[in-house]
Amino acid sequence: MHLTSDDVRHVADLARLHLTDEEVRLYTQQLSAILDYAERLQEVDTSGVPPTPYVLPLQNVMAEDIPQPSLPNEVALANAPDKANGFFRVRAVFEE
């Protein structure tokens, strides 16, 4: 077994995911099985092999700096769960 339930709770916290106890139990088991399977990568000799994060030869694609119309405020807010005075509204982030 790769993972403990505490590992799973820690990762869920990093990912900002609320998990039920049942989900923690299930993911501990399933993610361990997947990581066991991924162990076969360790057999591969990759010394000196560069990583491929991205397959295209394009790099640093530049665009002309031309002002373009953007979404109007009310359109940008149209799907917001909560809004006020032309802003997204959230609970206070800082304590008083």
Partner 1 sequence: MSKALYELTIHEALEGMRRKEFSAVELTRSLLERIEQVEDQVKAYLTVTADLALEQAAAADARRRAGEEAALLGIPMGIKDVLCTAGVRTTCGSRILENFIPPYTATAVQRLLDAGMVLLGKTNTDEFAMGSSTENSAYFPTRNPWALDRVPGGSSGGSAAAVAAQEAMAALGTDTGGSVRLPASYCGVVGLKPSYGRVSRYGLVAYGSSLDQIGVLAKDVRDAALVLTVMAGHDPHDSTSMPAPTPDYRAALTGDVRGLRIGLPEEYFIAGVQPEVEAAVRRALDVLVDLGAEVRPVSLPNTDKALPVYYLVATAEASANLARFDGVRYGYSAGADSILENYRLSRGRGFGAEVKRRIMLGTYALSAGYYDAYYLKAQQVRTLIKQDFERAFEQVDVIASPVAPTTAFRLGEKTDDPLAMYLSDVFTITLNLAGMCGVSVPCGFDQQGLPIGLQIMGPHLGEEIVLRVAHAYEQATDWRRRQAPLSIEA
CB of 69 to partner 1, least distance (A): 11
**Distance of closest approach, residue 8 Cβ to partner 1, in angstroms:** 7
Tell me how many residues contact partner 1 (CB under 8 A): 50
How many other β-carbons are positioned within 10 Å of the β-carbon of residue 39?
Answer: 9
Site for partner 1 in 21-60 (CB under 8 A): 23, 27, 30-31, 33-35, 37-38, 40-42, 44, 46, 49-56, 58
Helices (H), the chain: 5-14, 21-38, 73-76
Q: How many CB atoms neighbour CB 83 within 10 A?
A: 15
